[in-house]
Structures are given as structure tokens and as C-alpha cells.
């Protein structure tokens, strides 16, 4: 499985929204909801996940708060879809 990453800073958010349709569905909640949560939470640094993952991991410059907020957002969206 290939790792996917996104780095969100102010100007990169526009590019992120343009890429929102490029995230495939590998079966994991992180893969399904991470792009929407990136726009909602606006975490600092890179967020990493692989197809099938249910959690994101922090990459370069990521903060613990950002990772926790991303995973909480993913959990909320997954619970709402069930």
C-alpha cells in the first residue's frame, strides 16, 4: 500500500480542496474522511495514512493536537455515516 500525505498550510488549503476528489476509497475511515477533515480541522503539518487505515499519523511538523483533532473528526464522520 502506498502512503498518502498532505501538508496543510494557508495557501495549500486551496490545493487540498482541488485534490479532494483524488483520494481513493481503500476501505479505511481515514481514507474516506481525511480530506474533508483536513479542510475542517486545518491541522498543522503533514497527516499520513494508508488505504485501509482508520487513523491518521503525524508527519513532518504535525502537532499532537492536530493529529488528535483529525482522528476525532474522522471518528465523528464515520459514526454519522453508520
pLDDT digit string, tens, across residues 45-77? 999 988 888 899 999 999 999 999 999 999 999
Confidence of residue 1 (pLDDT cuts 50, 70, 90): very low
Confidence of residue 12 (pLDDT cuts 50, 70, 90): low
pLDDT tens track for 18-46: 444 334 445 678 888 988 999 999 999 99
Q: Which residues are CB-neighbours of 75 under 8 A, at least 6 positions away?
A: 29
Instruction: Output the nine-digit C-alpha cell for 33.
Output: 474522511
Q: Provide the 8-state DSSP code for 48.
A: E
Instruction: Give CA–CA dist 63/38, Å, rounded.
Output: 14
Amino acid at each position: 500500500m502506498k502512503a498518502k500525505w498532505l501538508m496543510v498550510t494557508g495557501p495549500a488549503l486551496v490545493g487540498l480542496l482541488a485534490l479532494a476528489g483524488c483520494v481513493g476509497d481503500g476501505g479505511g475511515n481515514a481514507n474516506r474522511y481525511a480530506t474533508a477533515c483536513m479542510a475542517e480541522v486545518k491541522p498543522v503539518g503533514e497527516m499520513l495514512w494508508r488505504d485501509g487505515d482508520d487513523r491518521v499519523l503525524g508527519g513532518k511538523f504535525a502537532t499532537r493536537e492536530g493529529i488528535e483533532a483529525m482522528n476525532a473528526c474522522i471518528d465523528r464522520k464515520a459514526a454519522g455515516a453508520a
